[in-house]
Amino acid sequence: MSRIRFTVLASIVFLLLGAASAQQFGGTLVVAAESMGDTLEPGLWTGFGSIHVLDNVGEGLIRSDFVSGEPRPALAESWEISEDGLTYTFKIRQGATFHDGTPVDAAAVVRSFKRFSNEEDPSFISGMYMQFSHGDPNWESLQAIDDATVELVLKAPDSAQLHRLSRPSAYIISPTALDSFGTDIGINYVGAGPFKIENFVLGQEATLVAFEEYWAGRPFLDKIVIRGFPDEASILAALEAGEVDYTTYAPFLSVSRLQRSGTVNVEVGPALVDLFIGASAKNAPTSDVNIRQAVNYAINRDNIIIAGLDGFAEPPASILSPTDLGFDASGRDISRYDPELAREFIAKSGLETPIPIELAFENNRFWPQLAELVKTDLEAVGFDVTLDRLDSGTFWAKAGDGELQLSINQRSTFIPDPDDKALMLHSVRAAPGQTWHALLPNIAEFDRLIDAGLLELDSDKRSAIYAELQALALEQMPYIYLGYLTPPVFVANHVRDVPVAQAAAGRVVLRDVWLDAN
């Protein structure tokens, strides 16, 4: 029996057993994260550990359903959108409160959003940027019409706006806490989610406890500990010792071993994460499209998926993944292994082989193994590859400074809308990052298509726009796609109702999770 089939059957048995048990209150769940940030400030990116905390202590106007792809009510119990797609009117849920007892009302919602740009707000921090992810630059106005009504007016239609409001940066913060803690709100976060913070040890772990007055009813778990770990090996050891109940960060190669243990179940998430190589348009030799195309055809994706990811990925096509609206599977004909074609593109570049090139990556998780496999493939067609192993901070600093040539990383699906990935190619909405794509000769066409995708409210017409965008991205190849990750989710066998699709997207939401004491 194949590993995948075994995994699927184990998951079905696990689900059937869970359905046969009655949901129970109580217990502590320990979650292993790849790191824990020094702040929970939602205006800054501080890593997935901090995001996992925010996803459980925070609550926004909207929730995104990663299975149906639809927005769901949260602190907004309902909403209306004007015919021109510009005005959103939200009715705030009555009776909801923040963890400090402050009522959730329209004024609190407006205050929480405006703190990102209001220098007079005591919680304002210069340099916050995550508000871009929930659509702030496109907001013409935001105001409280009355205590229970918020009106948001956009400058231009945005088909993804509702989903953007489910991002952690859009979670609503207690105005009382903003006044009390000011710029220290990141270490004293007070939201309206199902859990509240009992203790936050900077850079190490956060302890959360059930919020008894949560608007949707008390969560099942009494307590959650989200702990950062230095590496995959330590996560695996803790999981096998029973010290961790849930993680998406254990080594993929440990799946069979953990399944045989009888104490850990493994569920396979959907393909929501792109794995890719960024090719900088700023620096030679990757500034030459022929070199970018050569790198694309030099890489053996089957080997990447099997040897580097233990089978937990699907062959890639383009910047959009199979679950995205407008996904075009025909891109797989280009994102493929063809070493002879790679050599032809090298010849077109006019460069003499071997071509010196540097490949940067974060020295954690599966990135080093993927880097070694890519190096072997590239050297087989005429490159001389130097591997640049970096910690996360240094990696992104070099990306921002434009010092990279080739670099490996990923894009998660934080909201179920194609713009969440497409925006990576926009000259204004996306930072230069790994590709410095704003220097591409036809960047104006990228911008036009991405903007058109947001302005278009008809799904079929949006799909056609994104098909054109994917073709353009494959022609210019600022990103070279390695695969769509289908990540294993590691769950102790007494843990029930883990939302696997959200976990696969990097959103660890635990409000409905419970522990089976039987």
- pLDDT tens sequence across 277-289: 999 999 999 999 9
Determine the pLDDT at residue 364: 85
CATH 3.10.105.10 residue ranges for the chain:
273-485
Q: Which amino acid is at 133?
A: S
Determine the pLDDT at residue 393: 83
- Residue appearing with tokens 């994917």: 470
Q: Which amino acid is at 434?
A: Q
- From 318, 358, 342, select the one nearest 468 (Cα to Cα): 318
pLDDT in tens, 1-29: 333 333 444 444 444 444 445 889 999 99
Quick one: pLDDT band at residue 261, thresholds 50, 70, 90?
confident
Determine the pLDDT at residue 253: 87
Host H or E run for residue 63: strand 62-64
CATH 3.90.76.10 residue ranges for the chain:
47-186
Find the mean pLDDT for residues 153-166: 95
Determine the pLDDT at residue 19: 47
Higher per-residue confidence, 496 vs 15? 496
d(CA 115, CA 139) in angstroms, rounded, equals: 14
- Name the DSSP letter for residue 424: G
Determine the pLDDT at residue 112: 98
- The domain covering 47-186 belongs, at the CATH homologous superfamily level, to Dipeptide-binding Protein; Domain 1 (3.90.76.10)
Residues 6+ positions from 465 with CB-CB distance below 8 Å: 326, 449, 452, 453, 456
Cis previous bond, 488, omega within 30: no
Find the mean pLDDT for residues 349-372: 96
Determine the pLDDT at residue 213: 97
Find the mean pLDDT for residues 96-113: 98
Question: Per-residue b/e over 371-385, b at no fewer than 16 CB within 10 Å?
Answer: bebbbebbeebbbeb
Quick one: pLDDT band at residue 448, thresholds 50, 70, 90?
very high
Paired residues of 410 in beta bridges: 275
Determine the pLDDT at residue 457: 87
CATH no. for 273-485? 3.10.105.10
Residues 6+ positions from 372 with CB-CB distance below 8 Å: 387
pTM of the model: 0.86
pLDDT for 489 beyond 60: yes
Whether the CB-CB separation of 36 and 206 falls below 8 Å is answered with: yes
Find the mean pLDDT for residues 328-332: 97
How many degrees, rounded to 5, is the angle at CA 430 between CA 150 and CA 117?
A: 40
pLDDT for 175 beyond 50: yes
Whether the CB-CB separation of 173 and 61 falls below 8 Å is answered with: no
pLDDT in tens, 381-412: 999 999 999 998 899 899 999 999 999 999 98
Whether the CB-CB separation of 433 and 424 falls below 8 Å is answered with: yes
Determine the pLDDT at residue 4: 39
Find the mean pLDDT for residues 70-74: 96
> SS3 of 359, please?
strand
* CA 30 from centre of chain: 21
Whether the CB-CB separation of 42 and 168 falls below 8 Å is answered with: yes
Determine the pLDDT at residue 21: 57
Neighbours of 362 (CB within 10 A): 21
Mean pLDDT, the chain, whole residue set: 93
Long-range contacts of 5-11 (CB under 8 A, 24+ apart): 6/256, 6/259, 7/255, 7/259, 7/266, 7/267, 7/268, 7/488, 8/268, 10/259, 10/265, 10/266, 11/265, 11/266, 11/267, 11/268
- Look at 183-197, 256-270, 430-444 and tell me which has the smallest mean pLDDT: 256-270
